[in-house]
Amino acid sequence: TQKSKGIKHMDNSEAVRKHQQIMSQQALFERHVQALKKNLSDIEFIVVASDDGFPITHTLADDKDAARKAAMTASLGGLSTSVSEESGLKSAVATTIECEDGLVFSRHVTLDNEKSVELLVACSRHANYAAALWTIKKTINDIIEDFNRGSY
């Protein structure tokens, strides 16, 4: 069997439990997403996704679009970590994509020892790179603080 070969698999019930705990705090994520949108005027959209690529909350008009972007965000996070680890630089915490018409920030958010989410923020070409990055990092710190305080 797989276990006898030393391969460790997450128990499906454990994965479900973590996902349910994160989803039970959806209001916390929604509150911070709305604050981020208010504090950074050049945002095109925001998606908060579970590590396995399911949307938690978003600012998009279409839930199917949010589901697709959530899956891409989780994949980008995994790919970024693979590249950074192969480079000898440990796990990636963020990936920034500079586009012709704007910026895309993908951030891995470690909530506690067991739980984390992915945050995807797309900004228009008018966004100030440094201001956007600072505002996103501050929002992430606020999310982590509220999550660990139980403010949801």
pLDDT at residue 151 in the model: 52
Pick 97 or 8 by higher pLDDT.
97
The two tokens of residue 67 are: 């589901």
The whole-angstrom separation of Cα 132 and Cα 97 is: 13
Bridge partner residues of 95 (DSSP): 106
pLDDT band at 2 (very low <50, low <70, confident <90, very high): very low
What are 12-62's pLDDT values in tens digits? 787 777 778 888 889 999 999 999 999 999 999 999 999 889 999 999 999
Token pair belonging to 29: 């994520």
CA distance linking residue 95 with residue 80, whole number of Å: 7
Q: What is the pTM of this model?
A: 0.86
The pLDDT of residue 21:
82
Residues 118-142 have pLDDT tens digits of 999 999 999 999 999 999 999 999 9
pLDDT digits (tens, 9 = 90+) for 54-98: 999 999 999 999 999 999 999 999 999 999 999 999 888 999 999
Task: Measure the CA–CA gap between 67 and 101, rounded to whole angstroms.
Answer: 23
E-strand ranges in 11-73 read 43-50, 55-58
Give the neighbor-by-neighbor strand order of the sheet with 94-99. 55-58, 43-50, 116-124, 102-110, 94-99
Amino acid 23: pLDDT: 84
Q: Where does the pLDDT of residue 10 fall: very low under 50, low under 70, confident under 90, or very high at 90 and above?
A: low
Output b/e per residue, 16-39; b: 16+ Cβ within 10 A: eebbeebeebeebbbbbbeebeee
